[in-house]
Amino acid sequence: MNQKKVIFDHDGGVDDLLSLVLLLSMENIDLLGVTVTPADCFLEDATEATLKILTLFNRQDVSVAKGQLFGVNPFPYDWRAQPKIINALPTLLAVELDEKPLLKTSAVEYMIHTLEASKDKITVLMTGPCSNLTEALKQRPDLVEKVEEVIWMGGAVNVPGNVAMHNHDGSAEWNVFWDPYAADDMFKMGLNIKLVSLDATNCLPISIPFLKQIAAQRAYPLSEFFGQCWASTVPSIPSYEFTYHLWDIMATSCLEVGDDAIQFEKMELAVGTKQPNQGQTYHAKGNNQWVNVSVSANRDVMLDYLLKKLKRGFPKQNG
């Protein structure tokens, strides 16, 4: 099988960690490495969960690098604590921490080295802010040609954002808002970007009926793990009045699903860098910054895909 080479850059939230599980279950993917951004997480907790998930899949060959960049708009501390909950679930508590995959080099250094060394082009999947990739390509703009595609969960183009903060008009999505300057720079680099925005992910909330569908197949260890992780999100954001969605899962699924699941349109976009719309991804006709934006998704097709993927267990542990 001709496998797609992928670097996965995430920021440690519940949906990020579940995206890693989904990614590791894909037979068409050659996962080269995982980089962790200290955005929607506390870095050490998210790194520990990442390493344990790799161990569950016997994939200690996958390199892990920690990010050292920090955005201008921090995520709320309550949200950042979510990896602590995931690490406390029985599935991960039963796994010994193996730090062999953990590199001493930073996420940016890892991206530069991996892109430079690869004979093939690499797809970069990002489910957190885009700071690591943007900085790597700012330092080495010649490596833009080594990037096959960027799949990024971020943005809200024709729908409201999910940022509810002082001095903001609510137009931005959090992954862009955390570091809007990096997003603005990345859109100008001429990359092939597939932006999985709130425009499409809004159709897939984590609801009790949805969790019941997962629970109905809890005899499968992956379904049980996903259900427990998502259950932890139900009370996680009460003060901001929005619901958890399949944000990162939808972005990750782009590596397998087709146009019947997620529909994209090519748009010229720009990123707001100043208040009150800092981090907004908006139409900017004539600026020649073209991005493939998810405009809708077929909920039934997406759920059918996901439920089928979760009808499995973790691989048997070596030794």
For residue 80, the 8-state DSSP code is H
Average pLDDT, the chain: 94
pLDDT at 239 over 50: no
When mean pLDDT is compared across 75-79, 150-154, 315-319, the lowest value belongs to 315-319
Q: What is the mean pLDDT of residues 105-112?
A: 98
pLDDT, position 234: 76
The domain ranges of the chain are 4-309
**CA atoms of 53 and 267, how far apart (whole Å):** 36
pLDDT, position 319: 54
pLDDT at 235 over 90: no
Going by C-alpha positions, the residue among 280, 3, 304 that lies closest to residue 158 is 280
pLDDT at 238 over 50: no
In this structure, what token pair is assigned to residue 10?
């995430």
**CA atoms of 212 and 200, how far apart (whole Å):** 22
Q: What is the mean pLDDT of residues 234-239?
A: 56
**CA atoms of 286 and 292, how far apart (whole Å):** 16
pLDDT tens for each residue of 14-71: 999 999 999 999 999 999 999 999 999 999 999 999 999 999 999 999 999 999 999 9
pLDDT, position 240: 46
**CA atoms of 175 and 39, how far apart (whole Å):** 8
DSSP string, 205-258: B--HHHHHHHHTTTTSHHHHHHHHHHHTTTTS-GGGT---B-HHHHHHHTTT--
pLDDT level of residue 165 (50, 70, 90 thresholds) = confident
pLDDT at 285 over 60: yes
What residues have CB less than 8 Å from 192, skipping those under 6 apart? 147, 148, 149, 150, 292
pLDDT, position 232: 87
pLDDT level of residue 1 (50, 70, 90 thresholds) = low
Is the Cβ–Cβ distance between 159 and 280 less than 8 Å? no
Q: Which residue has the tokens 């910054």?
A: 289
User: How far apart, in Å, do the first and last CA atoms of the chain sit?
Assistant: 27
pLDDT tens for each residue of 129-144: 999 999 999 999 999 9
pLDDT, position 318: 65
What residues have CB less than 8 Å from 20, skipping those under 6 apart? 8, 10, 34, 50, 53, 54
In this structure, what token pair is assigned to residue 77?
């501390």
pLDDT at 206 over 90: no
Please give the model's pTM, rounded to 2 decimal places.
0.96
Phi, psi of 134 (to 5 degrees): -60, -45
pLDDT level of residue 242 (50, 70, 90 thresholds) = low
Q: Does domain 4-309 sit in CATH 3.90.245.10?
A: yes
Task: Provide the angle, in degrees to the nearest 10, between the axes of the packed helices 14-24 and 221-231.
Answer: 170
Quick count: other Cβ atoms within 10 Å of Cβ 103? Answer: 15
Instruction: Please work out, in degrees rounded to the nearest 5, the angle formed at the alpha carbon of residue 292 by the alpha carbons of 290 and 293.
Output: 115
